[in-house]
Structure 1
């Protein structure tokens, strides 16, 4: 059995961008009821999870740490603050903000593969309650599984 080549950050970003774009496309025609659907993230709607994904695509280490300081190291509060910033005035604005972040390479102080994992996992947190099926590239799922296995 041959060992699979580990992906570099340069290899991972196109996978992140493709998964973000696929999620945006899956949500393009969602109605108000769909946006309000409870996601698989306890206490968060589909719209709120998408706003969370947008926030992680817009942060960098400096803005992430500034938010942590502002929230006095209360990470849940910091996540809620970032989510609120990205929600916008309604679902159309939430989706628009996410679409603007699809090709972003900004990230909190995490490896790029962590953003791929977040996009895959939260993508399912959104899609499953809506009954949307998505097929992921094996390369993306393998990279995520290897990353999580190391944790």
Structure 2
């Protein structure tokens, strides 16, 4: 990936972090405890995770995983504990403070897009909000997810046997019954979050969503 491509991705990630902070600045206190789309985490937890993740370096990630016994979920939970403050608005300010960082764990830069978009929807959808995500960059995250195993946080197995087609940008992949919808809905699905049935169409959409729902129940 060349320097211009990296810069473009970081610009989108930074804008998304700042947009999410703006969306949450007037959130009533009671709504911070609403369950997110990320199993086991409420809205406050997901924001804390995003704040901690924004500061994660390659070396820091490795140290954290070693300390957690290479238990990815345990390492994430520790990160939430580090970044979550007693008051949600304090956590939000902490998130603002790190929003422009370009730290990253040892993973493809596309994971920063996946994290920003998927966790953004993890927070927004239960609150009745929707983000205005740039479809071409969502497609970059989607392309990464469909080529990455679920064991590594991707959605390759979820997408297998279907042809995924974005209706709002130039993206299609796979072979089989077609599943069509906005790139963000497809990205959520291959990241283990079932979008609404009305968001996807095509002969493969129902079977695809049933697979996603089944995977989510297992976790």
Q: Which has the higher helix share?
A: 1
Partner of 1:72: 69
TM-score by length of 1: 0.91
Partner of 2:145: 148
Unaligned runs of 5+ in 1: 1-6
Could you give the per-residue CA deviations for residues 18-71 of structure 1, whole angstroms, max 9, x where no partner exists? 111111110010111111111011111001001111111101011111111111
Could you give the per-residue CA deviations for residues 71-96 of structure 1, whole angstroms, max 9, x where no partner exists? 12122111111110000121011101
RMSD: 1.3
Unaligned runs of 5+ in 2: 149-219
Matches within 5 A, 1:126-145: 126-145=123-142
CA contact (8 A) 1:9 1:111 kept: no
Residues 39-48 or 141-150, more deviating: 141-150
SS in 2 for 1:8: helix
Q: CA deviation at 1:120?
A: 0.1
Q: Which has the higher strand share?
A: 2
> Which of 105, 114, 119 is the equivalent residue of 1:117?
114
TM-score by length of 2: 0.64
Q: Which stretches of structure 1, 4 residues or more, deviate above 3 A after TM superposition?
A: none
Structure ranking higher on relative contact order (CA contacts 8 Å, 6+ apart): 1
Partner of 2:19: 22
CA contact (8 A) 2:52 2:83 kept: yes
